[in-house]
Chain A
Amino acid sequence: MSQRPTPLSILIIDENRLRAAVIEDGLRDAGYAQLTVVHDVAGIARKIADTDPDVIVIDLENPNRDVLESMFQLSRAVQRPIAMFVDRSDQASIEAAVEAGVSAYVVDGLKRERVKPIVDMAVSRFNAFARMARELEEARSQLESRKLIERAKGILMSTRGLSEADAYALLRKTAMNQNRKLSEIAESLITAAGLLAPPEE
């Protein structure tokens, strides 16, 4: 007869509120209910003492990680020793976490199989968040390029009397000949037109 293990208490520290929410959701969906999220490390010793976490998840780039780690060493706030990561010998897990930009601290002696799903979840959510941020950035730059091309077309239409289709075809041909992006050609053209334009009245 195995006793049902007590639920794990997890503390998530992330200055990025959106990412913290994404991780929190993931862990909650996976059935972890004892979650605490903090965005600011001010007063973190108190938070640690109050929640007595089994696992702490923090973003790798957080400048306060040294402060957090020093607490594990010296502060009376931490009642139980905390080590980092599931298992020091699990190099693949460690690499995946550092690659994803997350670090996890785990109470010493906690069984590997209990912690691994948490760390794996944090890693996959961090990666998903990074992907999402990247896609958002791409969408933004696509929108930006489309606007540039529209403006460049307008300049060609008014200065050279081209139709919209011909203006576009000219831009495209130039881009292909110079082996550059359409948006880059459009940008150069807009800059050049700006430089050559007669001073405004």
Chain B
Amino acid sequence: MGARSNYEIVAGLMPLLDSAILVAAREKGFAAEEGIDLTLVRETSWASIRDRLAVGHFQVAHQLAPMPIAANLGLTPLAARTIAPIALGLGGNAVTVSNGLWRTMVDHGAHADLDPATAGRALRAVITERAKGQSEPLKLAVVHPFSGHNYELRYWLAASGIDPERDVEIVFVPPPLMADALAADTIDGYCVGEPWSTAATVAGVGHIATVKAAIWRSSPEKVLGVAASWAEREPDALAALLRALCRAAQWCSMEANHRELADILAGSGYVGRPAAWLLHGLSGQLDIGGGEVRVTQDFFIPFAKAATFPWKSHALWFYSQMVRWGQVAHTRENAAIARDTYRPDLYRSALKPLGVALPAANSKVEGALLRPTPVGSAGASLMLGPDGFFDGALFDPDKLDAYIEGQKR
């Protein structure tokens, strides 16, 4: 007989490295310790996750960090009110290009060092040359319009002098099909979470040009999307789940656990790919293609640097990019909806008993920290940063209007 469960929670997830915290919460018993019978259901699309959250099949789900904001802004079909009371780590994505495109980029000055500035300059030169030769625009894929991938790819392109709307074509492909699409020449490159860049490099069909952690260090990627109506009805169940996820995140962050975590995630109910693929992302030792392995700082951060804290400045940055790319009109009301989607208040009240580091602020200036810096916190002491954007820009959530204005084309 198992321990008695007080709460039954069903969570949807996608086959990605950053489902790790949810998976560890179940598989390593952190959920059970909090009296939660946690069922995980692997889904085939973010749309399906959203729909099943909306009709109550799931109470919570692994979601792209901008998804709950898009739902609350009414931008997606079947949008049920969703909150994000915890993040599921920072970073974890890479931009991978075909071998052919990579060779041309190298001819134009790109190096195998994942530096977004030189890779971006080289890509721009390639695009300029292609335009002269009347070639078709390059096709770059992301997984979802409301995703960190879409926004960081566009940010990188725009900051490199490439217009994501005119100079390239951005298309959509499900993560597990990216490497195949690259091999088949259907696309020239893509931005995706692990292990779907590793899938291309181990197959020898692609080269990692840069990574999310270099475009914007310590940047948000996935959150736990929670049906707002359920959160209101079951505050104790939610608080228990947040504690379980925090402990799971801590476990995931320990290097000694990476092999076991990779083995668990490799299971057919989760990512269903070799553990060795997942270890690249967990260790930050990326196989970038051509047999080269690069150590990447902060590639995927599950716990350190308040990696699970749902910063309102993250929500507002995503919102600024929705406005930038014409997905939503900028109004005071819309900005408030975005800001209120992320719920650091619920995070703090649930995690207080654990004695973990809790940031004192709800928002921060993104990109301001050039080195690890101690910040005000309750519980344990807390170091944040570095968190810079590769182009040196700052995002001050108190100057949202100016930021949006400055990004207008």
Contacts and interface: CB of A to CB of B under 8 A. Distances in A.
B173 interface: yes
Interface in B306-336: 327
Contacts of B56: 95
Contacts, number: 61
B45 A65 contact: yes
A144 interface: no
Interface residues of B, dominant DSSP: loop
Nearest to B177: A63
B155 interface: no
B34 interface: no
B327 A66 contact: no
B77 A69 contact: yes
Given A94-B55, A98-B55, A103-B51, A66 B78 contact: no
Interface residues of A, number: 24
Count chain B CB atoms within 10 A of each CB in A61, A65, A91, A99 and give the residue with the most: A65
B145 to A, nearest CB: 5
A83 interface: yes
B150 to A, nearest CB: 9
B45 to A, nearest CB: 4
Interface of A: 60-67, 69-71, 73-74, 83-85, 88, 91, 94-95, 98-99, 103, 105
Given A83-B77, A84-B77, A65 B47 contact: yes
B176 A63 contact: yes
List 3 A-B pairs, minimum CB-CB distance, nearest first: A84-B77, A65-B47, A70-B172
A63 B174 contact: yes
A176 to B, nearest CB: 27
Interface string B38-67: 000000111110011011110000000000
Contacts of B173: 67
Contact of B77 (A63, A64, A95, A105): A105
A75 to B, nearest CB: 9
Contacts of A105: 77
Interface of B: 44-48, 51-52, 54-57, 76-79, 143-145, 170, 172-174, 176-177, 327
Nearest to A84: B77
A66 B143 contact: yes
Contact of A62 (B45, B46, B77, B78): B45
A70 to B, nearest CB: 4
Contacts of A62: 44-45
A66 B47 contact: yes
Contacts of B52: 98
B175 to A, nearest CB: 9
A77 to B, nearest CB: 12
A60 B48 contact: yes
B49 to A, nearest CB: 10
Contact of A65 (B48, B79, B176): B48
22 contacts: A60-B51, A61-B48, A63-B45, A63-B174, A64-B174, A66-B47, A66-B143, A66-B144, A66-B172, A69-B77, A69-B145, A70-B145, A70-B172, A71-B172, A73-B327, A83-B77, A88-B79, A94-B78, A95-B55, A98-B52, A98-B55, A98-B57
Contacts of A85: 77-78
Contacts of B78: 84-85, 88, 94
B41 to A, nearest CB: 11
Contacts of A94: 54-55, 78
A85 B54 CA distance: 13
A71 to B, nearest CB: 8
Contact of A61 (B44, B79, B144): B44
Nearest to A83: B77
B74 to A, nearest CB: 9
Given A63-B177, A94-B78, A70 B51 contact: no
Contacts of B46: 66
Contacts of B177: 63
Pick from A61, A66, A67, A105 the residue with the most CB of B within 10 Å: A66
A69 B67 CA distance: 13
Q: Which of B52, B144, B172, B173 has the most CB of A within 10 A?
A: B172
A70 B78 CA distance: 14
A88 B52 CA distance: 14
A74 B145 contact: yes
Contacts of B57: 98
